Amino acid sequence: MTVRVRFAPSPTGALHIGGARTALFNWLFARKLGGKFILRIEDTDQQRSTLEANRAIFHGLEWLGLDWDEGPNVDGPLGPYYQTERLEIHQKHIDQLLKEGKAYYCFCSPEELEKKRQEAAARKEAPRYDGTCRKLAEAEIKQLAESGKRKVVRFLLPPTGDTIVSDLIRGEVVFKNELLDDFVIQKSDGFPTYNFACVIDDHTMEITHVIRGDDHLSNTPRQILLYLAFGWQPPKFAHIPMILGKDKARLSKRHGATSVIAYSDIGYLPEAVLNYIARLGWAHGDQEIFSREELIEKFSLKGVSKSSAIFDTDKLNWLNGKYIREILPERLIDLCEPLLIEAYGNHDLEYIKKVVLAFHDRLTLIPEIVPLSKFFFTDDFEYDQKALEKHFKTVNAKKIMETLKERLAKVEPFTKDKIEPVFKGLAQEMDLKLGMIIHPCRLALTGTLQSPPMYDVVEILGKKKVEERIERAIASL
């Protein structure tokens, strides 16, 4: 039997980091085993589901390169792939349970239930549904229904016994049926609840492995009971650990960027994010860097850990820097160019390319190039105060700069291999350490003490700018 897994987000917000990792593990599992990766949108919450969130989820998955074999926009034999388009299927199964006496109508209002819950809590009892409507007679049901009273459908649970979840990551987890209550499977708006729709859809879509967040483990016995009620074979389950924020609380907006797309906006590369989240809760020996192909090759549920993981931006940053250093120059240029144009207006593309390449090795996040390269695009910069004290207020600073200016004026063509000897020759003639020339020069040209290698900067800036800036420096000496 071929493996079929699914990622089943609800479109109530952007694709967040946790969801992305769940999607990734499912995707890797399918790709590794030559199975199918299915995307199903669980949009049965009419209040919270939005079209925008739906698009955001696609966008996030696409950015990470997690393509689905069946799902929205990719027809498959077992669709549709929006849960709300499967309502007849759900209804049919609701009816079946009702008919078989495995489910029943409940007319208790939310207010009544809430009141009972509070009372139970006050008595320090578990807030479980008390089964009021379980014993309703046929005639009563009919009458209540005809009176237009809102109703839900509840699943009738076996009152005793154990339900065992056989989890691929956690082993066997035993739940006592008596601790569960008759949960709602169809809401008063006629929509199925999560636990029900999930089971019906997973079964009818022939899902073989349910790989999902740890937060669903406690829901699993309810779902298994449903499978059993239908006489179905449950899929295999694998509950992966959650991702937490620095404060060990579940990752949320409070922790800053949580949506995958936010990471794109901040300047992370999709391969870095992919690599990072793959390693959150999963390991393959000591290896840290994995290409997409390696991930597919090496992924296994056996490597998934049981404990939750804290999201560590520092490590993500390190990975991102590593990936940036490895990407093709053309790609880096494509990434940086719009940011530079936005910040500094239009400039010659060739010039922009040279600037970008000068910073290729020194970026952790793409947008860092904007402030770092400021001096390449504007004369409007101040000298760093401390640097000024150190490198401009030396006895022969003026002499050095004047001589440097004269010499550079004669360089032709103005390329770094012609520029370098000027600096070195000058140092030798004046019996100075090279730094004595380079430091003030860097300060004159960039206003700072940090820049790409000096000769590169001089060349890229060009003869005219270099002269102007050295003059400006001399004037301030």
Partner RNA sequence: GGCCCCAUCGUCUAGUGGUUAGGACAUCGGCUUUUCAAGCCGACGGCCGGGGUUCGACUCCCCGUGGGGCUACCA
User: Which residues are designated catalytic?
Assistant: 253
Residue 349 burial (10 A CB sphere; 0-12, 13-18, 19+): exposed
Cα separation of 358 and 446, whole Å? 14
Cα separation of 399 and 377, whole Å? 28
| Among 120, 137, 140, CA closest to 129 | 120
Q: Are 447 and 383 in contact (CB under 8 A)?
A: yes
CA distances from 213 to 187, 277, 415 (A): 24, 14, 57
* DSSP one-letter string for 192-220: BPHHHHHHHHHHHTT--EEEEEGGGGGGH
Cα separation of 12 and 131, whole Å? 32
Q: DSSP alpha helices (H): ranges in 65-133?
A: 87-99, 110-122
Cα separation of 167 and 177, whole Å? 18
> What's the closest the beta carbon of residue 127 comes to RNA, in angstroms?
5
> What's the closest the beta carbon of residue 461 comes to RNA, in angstroms?
14
Q: DSSP alpha helices (H): ranges in 301-384?
A: 313-326, 329-344, 349-358, 369-372, 374-377
> What's the closest the beta carbon of residue 466 comes to RNA, in angstroms?
14
User: Is 177 or 403 the residue whose CB approaches RNA more closely?
Assistant: 177
> What's the closest the beta carbon of residue 172 comes to RNA, in angstroms?
8
> What's the closest the beta carbon of residue 412 comes to RNA, in angstroms?
20
> What's the closest the beta carbon of residue 2 comes to RNA, in angstroms?
25
Cα separation of 203 and 230, whole Å? 10
Cα separation of 8 and 210, whole Å? 10
User: Is 66 or 184 the residue whose CB approaches RNA more closely?
Assistant: 184
Cα separation of 7 and 167, whole Å? 18
> What's the closest the beta carbon of residue 201 comes to RNA, in angstroms?
10
Amino acid letter, 440: P
User: Is 77 or 171 the residue whose CB approaches RNA more closely?
Assistant: 171
User: Is 108 or 444 the residue whose CB approaches RNA more closely?
Assistant: 108
User: Is 142 or 176 the residue whose CB approaches RNA more closely?
Assistant: 176
Cis peptide before 192 (omega within 30 of 0): no
Determine phi and psi for 343, rounding to 5 degrees. -80, -35
> What's the closest the beta carbon of residue 173 comes to RNA, in angstroms?
4
Q: Are 198 and 237 in contact (CB under 8 A)?
A: no
Residue 71: how many CA atoms within 13 Å on its side-chain side? Answer: 21
User: Is 164 or 349 the residue whose CB approaches RNA more closely?
Assistant: 164
Cα separation of 408 and 388, whole Å? 22
User: Is 51 or 174 the residue whose CB approaches RNA more closely?
Assistant: 174
3-state secondary structure of 160: coil
| Among 144, 130, 254, 142, CA closest to 181 | 130
| Among 11, 67, 13, 5, CA closest to 251 | 13
Give the bridge partners for 236, in sequence order.
209
> What's the closest the beta carbon of residue 277 comes to RNA, in angstroms?
10
User: Is 59 or 187 the residue whose CB approaches RNA more closely?
Assistant: 187
User: Is 109 or 378 the residue whose CB approaches RNA more closely?
Assistant: 109
